[in-house]
Amino acid sequence: MSLSLNDQRQPSQEPATESDNSVAIVANSASEPGNFSYAKENQESYKLKDSKAYVFEKKLFTRTLLPIDCKKERQVLLSCNNCPYTITVDVRKISTKNLQSHYRAKHRKIASCDTTAKFLPGTSRETPPSPSKRPIAEFFERNQKRARINFNENLYNEKMIRMLVKKNLPFDFFETPEVKDALGYISMCEPTTLPSLHHSKIEKILREKFNEQFPKMNFELEQNVKSHGCFSLSLDIWTSGVSRTDYLGVILSYIDQNFQLNYRLIGLEVLQDPHTGAYICDQLMLVLEQFSSLKIGSIFSITRDNASNNDKCLSCFSHRYFNSAMSDFQNDIRCNANILNLVAKAILDKLGVPARDILKRVKNIVIAVRGKKEIKQLFERSVRSQGSGNAVTIPLDSVTRWNSTLYMVRGTLRAREHLEFVKRSTKDASFQDDMLSATEWEVLVGIKDILEIFEIPSTNLQGQKYTTINEALLYMTHVYQSLQLQIHKCRTNEESLSDSLIPSIENGINKLCKYFPPVTNFEDLTKFKAYHLSIVLDPRAKLNHYLNGELLCFYPGIEVDIKYLLEREYKSLENELKEVSSDISEGEIEPEPKVNDLNLYNFKRKKYSEVASYIIDPAIDRFASALDYWKVKQDVYPILSILARRYLAIPATSASVESTFSIARNIISYQRNRLSPTNSKHLMLLKSWGVKGVEELEDSYFRESED
């Protein structure tokens, strides 16, 4: 069963200098991204079931089943009953969390869930507030009645350190008289009796905490190597806006023996010399050398953006890899989200004069609505006249945010009626000149349709909770075909201004083909085998995407070549494991293997090989977990399951490093402008390693809000 290209999952980055490299791809004009006609939701008789969710039960939102489209999942339109806000979601993925957030943000006087309804005045369901909602004075009054305990300085230090790390406080925070006075009042003792928590003591505790956790992290990585796993790296460079210090961030991703996908920050190194490729490679090797289990031969792939110095860095790394492992380093993965951003930028840069002028005027309109008092007041009056007392804002695009131009265009189109009202009411000549004609509004719709092609791929490929490399080639092919379809629409559109979009779309297609050129033979497949093998090793897809008429059927018989590519990789790993098996007999590795590892070294001829048996078995449900499948089947396919751990752990983008830099901006802040690079690194690594009391790395940085 084929994977859907419309899976919605949880998610901006500055464009970098690009350089040549290619991934095999071509569009099959006869293929379709997906066919969902079999789904029960796409039957005429299907009806939405009654929901007991608060927002629907209290009629805060209305659900409307949209018409059937066999090319995608059935959609549901969710409409707020108190403002014009609407959102379209898949029928299987209706979640009320965002709907509740909408009411909390836009309709604060209306209960957004059952909990908030209890506190509304005049209701019969009023209950005492929870302990977290009670006045702070009552909290201390209750605590006075409790038995006093002896003061524990170690516990006190632990709690204070947790607060300091979580809230990103400066290290001298506890040395200020005001904080000491507040802590003394809370503990009902004299401030002078509180133990001193000097910043040097905090640094010592932090260093001890790091030294305590580092061996545990190294042991975790060592266990992955012993179970024949490999590691994938993601790297990028960031400059702190506070200290103006350059950092190299290195993220390690791998699937452990329990088939859990892990992302770990292992390096946040200061770059002091010019950022040449050789220097970056040297710093990367220093990061790896800190961990005894991270030998260069255990590095399976490196994901990076398209900067030219990264090309030279990978060239240096490949040379060192060959000298150490006596084989070529093959899995150099360019950040797919960065490629999509470059393609979208190529389209925008090549827009004809009419379309480029439209975007420029749209930006002027948004700036006026957000910054000019008269325009803003008229806009808000129009919004209120439609029964909503909440502000409607249009986001402004930013060169450092992916999809920001799309959000600006989409927000402008949604606010068209309000903008027309402002045009009729204002005397601002510049605003009236910037307003679009009916034909120009249609061109703006065309620009929106083009940019929306990149929204889902660039968002989903940045995920860290699920595998991504197995979907990268699918999304890229889908983008290629969608751009071709947009050219066809522009040519059949009677509006002459639509013709100005065709050269820009063609420029975007050429940019995409620079990185993903057409596939015509087996040699093209092997250039970027990581993309193809990760798809085949996804039990939800297997060879289905390569069958005749499917999305990746680039040439006749391609499924035979893909199977041969998998068998060749299987044989290579089998020989590697045989060498490991002989090492075990010589006592170089623990002589007593685990019970569930015995089949791993049993290479007797079977009726069907692992590859043949795996291909014959039907694909699993598209909503099932690929990693759960391999966890269950690792005894049936001991060698293939190791291949799956290696290939599916490859990140399709370097977004994990970017989100790390987002956290670093909160740590290396103006309040901590004197924080040393070593302390910054320790804080960041402890966060990433999930140490108790330290927040996990957050993955919400790239989720752009359109409001």
For residue 36, the surrounding DSSP H or E stretch is: none
Say what the pLDDT of residue 193 is.
55
Two tokens, residue 605:
């001829």
Cα–Cα distance, 556 to 553 (Å, whole number):
7
pLDDT at position 388: 57
In the chain the first and final C-alpha atoms are separated, in Å, by 37
Q: Which tokens go with 69?
A: 């489209």
Cα–Cα dist 143/159, whole Å: 18
Is 190 buried (19+), middle (13-18) or exposed (0-12) by CB count in 10 A?
exposed
| DSSP class per residue in 380-425 | HHHHHHTT--S----PPP-TTSTTHHHHHHHHHHHTHHHHHHHHHH
Place of tokens 């398209």: 306
Q: Which domains does the chain have, with CATH numbers?
A: 40-117 (no CATH), 148-197 (no CATH), 202-335+654-662+671-688 (3.30.420), 336-517 (no CATH), 518-648 (no CATH)
Does residue 610 contact residue 640 with C-beta atoms inside 8 Å?
yes
Q: CA–CA separation, 557 vs 562, rounded Å?
A: 9
Q: Quick one: how far is CA 172 from the chain centroid? A: 35
Q: What are phi and psi of 599, to 5 degrees?
A: -65, -15
> What is the pLDDT at residue 362?
92
Strand ranges (E), 15-74: 61-65
The rounded distance, in Å, linking the Cα atoms of 41 and 92 is 9
Distance CA 87, CA 604 (A): 57
CA dist., res. 422 & res. 644, Å (int) = 58
What is the three-class DSSP state of 217? helix
Residues of the chain whose pLDDT is less than 70? 1-39, 114-149, 184-197, 387-391, 399-402, 494-498, 580-608, 671-672, 691-707
pLDDT of residue 17: 40
CA 412 – CA 409 distance, rounded (Å): 5
* DSSP state at residue 241: T
Q: Please list the residues that pair with 255 across neighbouring strands.
A: 261
Residue found by looking up tokens 């290619």 in the block: 22
Give the model's pLDDT for residue 11: 41
Is residue 103 within 8 Å of 90, Cβ to Cβ?
no
Could you give the CA distance from residue 481 to residue 489 in angstroms, rounded to a whole number? 13
pLDDT for residue 643: 95
Burial of 491 (0-12, 13-18, 19+ CB in 10 A): exposed
Q: Residue 330: CB partners within 8 Å, gap ≥ 6?
A: 529, 530
Strands (E), 151-245: 231-239
Give the pLDDT score at 705.
Answer: 33
C-alpha to C-alpha distance for 691 and 370, rounded to whole angstroms: 43
pLDDT, residue 532, reads 94
Q: Positive or negative CA dihedral for 414, 453, 538, 255?
A: negative
Cα dist from 140 to 137, 145, 159, 464, 591, whole Å:
5, 9, 18, 42, 60
Residue 226 CB partners (closer than 8 Å, separation 6+): 589
DSSP state of 295: -
